[in-house]
Amino acid sequence: MIKYEIGGAYARGAEELSGQFGFECGAGGIPVVVKEGRGIVLSYRGGTLELIVSARVQVFFALKYFSDESEGAPRDGYFAVLEPRFALTYMLDCSRNAVPREETLFELIRHLAVLGYNALGLYMEDTFAVPALPYFGYLRNPFTREEIARTEAYCDLFGIELVPYIQTLAHFNTLTRHPSMQHLFDCNDILLVGEEPTYAFLETLIAACASYFKSREIHIGMDEAYMLGRGVYMDRHGARNRFDVMMEHLTRVLEICKKYGYEHPMMWSDMFFSLTMDAQYGGMLPRELAERVPRNVELVYWDYCSTSAAHYMENLHRHRVFRNEIAFAGGAWKWLGYTPDNRYAIAASSSAARACRQAGVRKFIVTGWGDNGAECSVFATLPALHHCSRLNLGFFDADRRFERAFLSLAGLPFKDFMKLDLANRLTRNGDVEEKNSANKFLLFNDVLLGTLDTLVPEGLNALYREHAARIARAQSRAGKWDYLFETQYVLCRLLSVKAELGIKLRAAYRAGDREKVKELVCVMKRDVLPRLMAFYRALRAQWERENRPNGFDVQDIRLGALERRIRTAIEKTESWLCGEAASVPELEEELLCFTGHGKEYEKDYDQCEWRWRRMSSVNVNE
C-alpha cells in the first residue's frame, strides 16, 4: 500500500481517506506537490509525486489513481495526463422514506472524493426542516440546519460542493396529507401556481436553502407536473395555454431565487416538451417557445432508460432549440425495490456519456432515486458510481484497470460486488436489456390473488436457489459490505420458495390434487414464513445502519401485510383440506395477463413495475 505525505489544505481530507482506498497518508510517505492547471496531470520523479489539477477534489482522485496504477510499486518517470469531460455530480434521493444518517453521508462523501465527483446533491422534497413550516417534513426525520452544516463542512475537506435539490412545482405528495397545507395545491401533488400563498411558501423554502447551504447552486425541480393548471387553477382561471402558465410560474420562482443569491438555478427540462406534445404544436417544441425560457436557468435533460447512444444524441439534439446551458442526468438504478441493477446502469450510462461527450455537455449528474420506499442501499450501486467516474475520463470498458481500481474502492472484486444485482435476473442469458423489478414484484405478488403470476416463467425457484448460492460465495469475501450481501442472500432464499408458489398452489387446487396442496401449505409454514422473517431482520438491520428510523414503518406495513396474507392462504387452504370450507374462492378465479393480453400470457423480462400497491393487489388501497 502506497503512503503519501501531503500537507496544507489537503492534509485533513487525506487523513480521512487514509487506509480505506488502497493508500495511506502520513509522515514519511511520498511527498505530494499540488499545482493548479488544466485537467489532471500526474508526474512521479525522484521520489516525489507532482499533481496538476483544475479542481480540489481531483487531488484525492489522483492519489487513488496513482496508487491503483502503481500497484504498490511506483515507477520513477511515471507520467499521465487525464482529461475529465464533465463536472460530475451524484444526487441522492432523501425524500422516499430513507433519510440517510450522518455517518452514511460521510461514508458516501469519502467514496465520491476518490471517484472525483465535484458535487453531492441532496434531493429533498420536504426532508429539510423549516421552522416556519412545522408540517413541512413532519415525522419524516428531516435534515436540520446544523446537520447540513456538518455535512457541508465534511464535503469541504475534499472540495466537494453540497447542493440542494428541491421542488418548486410538483412532487409534494407527502404535504397533501396535511389539512394546513392543502390550500397550496392545484391537483394531485402539483402546487397551485399564480397564487401569492404559493410563492410565500416557496420563498420560505428557498430562503431556508440559502441560509443552510453555502453553495449558490440550487436545483428547483419542476418535473413531471403533467396535470399543471387542470385542477383548482382551471376552476379559477379557465383553460389557459399551459406553456404560458409554466413560464409565469418559472419567472416568479427565478425572481425568488435571484433574491437569495441563486443566479443560475438548475431545473429538469421535461415539462417544456410534455407541454408541447399535443396537436397544437405538432409534437415539436417551437423555437419561439424555447426562446421564452430565461437563459439564466440551466436545463437538465434526464434519461435513464436506453442503452443506445443514438437515442441520447437525438434527445440532446432536440434540446438545441434552447439558448440555455444543457446538463444531463442519468441514473444509478436503485429504484426497483430492494435490489440494484448496476449492469443496466453501467450500460445506459456508457451510451449516455458517449452522446454527452459528442454533444459538448459539461455537467453529468448521476441520480440515485429511491421511488416507492428507497429500499435499496446507496452503497449497493458502487459499481455504477465507479463506472461513471471512469466514463468521465473516457474509459468505457470494465477492463483489468477498472477492476483493480474498483477493488481498492470497495475492498471486494467487481464481479463479486455485481452479485448484488442477481435478484433482478430472471434468465441466465446475460442480456443487458433484461431490466426488471423481479426482486420486489415476486416478493409482494399475492399467493391467493396471483396478480403477477402470469409473468412468472417456470423454473424460477431453481434459478433463485442458484442466485442465493452465488451471493453466498461472494458474501464470504464481502468484509464491511457483508450486511448488503446478507439482505440479498436471504431475499433470494425467500424467492426460491415463493416465486412460483401461487402458480403451483392454484394449479394443484384446480386439479383437485389435495396432496400437492397439503405439501405447498407445509412449504408456506416451514420455509416461506421463516425466510420472510429472516429477510425482514436483514432489511431492518441494513436500514438502521444507513438511515434514520422514520420511513421504515412503511416496510413494517408492507412486509407485515405480506406475512398476514401468507397466513391467510394457509388458513383458507387448510380449511378447504379439512372440509370446513367448500372452496378457496380466490383460487377459483381465472387469471388474465398482467400486461393486458387477456388469456395469452406474456412472460415479460422487462417488467419494471415498482409500485407496491399495484403489485400487491388490484383492490382499493388508497
Degrees (nearest 5) of the Cα angle 26, 28, 31? 85
> Which pLDDT does position 182 carry in this prediction?
96
CATH number of 2-82: 3.30.160.230
pLDDT at residue 378 greater than cutoff 70 = yes
Dihedral pair phi/psi, residue 547, rounded to 5°: -125, 165
| 296 vs 304: CA distance, rounded Å | 26
Q: Please answer whether residues 480 and 411 qualify as being in contact, where contact means their C-beta atoms are separated by less than 8 angstroms.
A: yes
Each domain of the chain, given as residue ranges in start order, spans 2-82, 87-410, 419-616
Task: Specify whether domain 87-410 bears CATH 3.40.190.10.
Answer: no
Average pLDDT over residues 546-561: 98
> Which pLDDT does position 262 carry in this prediction?
98
From the list 370, 445, 402, the residue with the least C-alpha distance to 618 is: 445
357-363: long-range contacts at Cβ-Cβ below 8 A with a sequence spacing of 24 or more?
A: 357/85, 357/394, 358/313, 359/313, 359/316, 359/317, 359/326, 361/86, 361/316, 361/326, 361/327, 361/328, 362/86, 362/87, 362/325, 362/327, 363/86, 363/87, 363/89, 363/298, 363/300, 363/325, 363/327, 363/328
Q: Please answer whether residues 92 and 368 qualify as being in contact, where contact means their C-beta atoms are separated by less than 8 angstroms.
A: yes
By percentage, how much of the chain surpasses pLDDT 90? 92
Residue 275 DSSP one-character state: T
Q: CB count, 10 Å around CB of 287?
A: 12
Instruction: Return the CATH architecture of domain 419-616.
Output: Up-down Bundle (1.20)
With a CB cutoff of 8 Å and minimum separation 6, the contacts of 591 are 450, 453, 454, 506
Q: Please answer whether residues 339 and 370 qualify as being in contact, where contact means their C-beta atoms are separated by less than 8 angstroms.
A: no
Helix axes 242-259, 196-212, angle to 10 degrees: 40
pLDDT digits (tens, 9 = 90+) for 173-192: 999 999 999 999 999 999 99
Average pLDDT over residues 326-337: 97
Judged by DSSP in three states, 379 sits in helix
Answer whether 0.95 is exceeded by the pTM: yes
By percentage, how much of the chain surpasses pLDDT 70? 99
Average pLDDT over residues 387-413: 94
Judged by DSSP in three states, 131 sits in coil
Cell 442477481: give the residue. Answer: 422
Average pLDDT over residues 592-619: 88
Q: Please answer whether residues 287 and 321 qualify as being in contact, where contact means their C-beta atoms are separated by less than 8 angstroms.
A: yes
pLDDT at residue 371 greater than cutoff 60 = yes
- Length of the chain as a residue count: 622
Cell 433463485: give the residue. Answer: 464
> Which pLDDT does position 57 carry in this prediction?
98
| DSSP per-residue letters across 302-327 | E--S---HHHHHHHHHHGGGSSS-EE
> Which pLDDT does position 107 carry in this prediction?
98
pLDDT at residue 282 greater than cutoff 60 = no
| 100 vs 92: CA distance, rounded Å | 9
The continuous run of DSSP H or E covering 390 comes out as helix 382-391
Q: How confident is the model at residue 276 (pLDDT cuts 50, 70, 90)?
A: confident
| DSSP per-residue letters across 424-479 | G---SS--TT----HHHHHHHS-TTT-TTGGGPPTTHHHHHHHHHHHHHHHHTT-G
Q: How confident is the model at residue 430 (pLDDT cuts 50, 70, 90)?
A: confident
Q: How confident is the model at residue 470 (pLDDT cuts 50, 70, 90)?
A: very high
Q: Please answer whether residues 336 and 437 qualify as being in contact, where contact means their C-beta atoms are separated by less than 8 angstroms.
A: yes
Q: Is 354 exposed, middle or buried (CB count within 10 Å of its CB: 0-12, 13-18, 19+)?
A: middle
Average pLDDT over residues 227-242: 96
> Which pLDDT does position 280 carry in this prediction?
59
Cell 435571484: give the residue. Answer: 258
With a CB cutoff of 8 Å and minimum separation 6, the contacts of 340 are 332, 333, 334, 376, 377, 380, 381, 384, 420, 421
Reading the block at residue 571, the C-alpha cell is 388458513
pLDDT digits (tens, 9 = 90+) for 337-364: 999 999 999 999 999 999 999 999 999 9
Q: How confident is the model at residue 599 (pLDDT cuts 50, 70, 90)?
A: confident
Q: How confident is the model at residue 59 (pLDDT cuts 50, 70, 90)?
A: very high
pLDDT digits (tens, 9 = 90+) for 80-127: 999 999 999 999 999 999 999 999 999 999 999 999 999 999 999 999
